[in-house]
Amino acid sequence: MAHAETRNEKLDLRLTPSAKRTLQIAALAAHRSVSEFVLESALARAEETLPDRQRFGLSAAQWEAFQAALSAPPPRPSRRLTKLLKEKSVFERGGVE
């Protein structure tokens, strides 16, 4: 939370004993109470989820620039990038060399 607010809302959850145990262990590892751990984790996930779903406004000039960027031809691929994408990844090679 960006600014100080009074915590006066409550959220009840039903969960399995193993899920509760996992949250308790994770909270202990993070040096947080279970409530703090769950709240912080849920808010972090919400912040990851929401940015592309929130409304934002552009001026007419910004909208035109955005449309121009979308309509522009893609850049030519660089030789180095093409080579890199053709190489097997460290996972495909079976480990770090």
Q: What is the pLDDT along the chain (97 residues), one digit of tens a residue?
A: 456 889 899 999 999 999 999 999 999 999 999 999 999 999 999 988 887 776 778 899 999 999 999 999 988 889 999 999 898 888 888 765 5
Determine the pLDDT at residue 97.
53
Determine the pLDDT at residue 64.
95
Is there a contact between 38 and 23 (Cβ–Cβ < 8 Å)?
yes
Determine the pLDDT at residue 76.
87
Determine the pLDDT at residue 95.
63
Determine the pLDDT at residue 89.
85
* pTM recorded for the entire structure: 0.51
Determine the pLDDT at residue 9.
92
Could you tell me the CA-to-CA distances from 41 to 9, 31, 36 in Å, in that order?
17, 13, 8
Determine the pLDDT at residue 77.
84
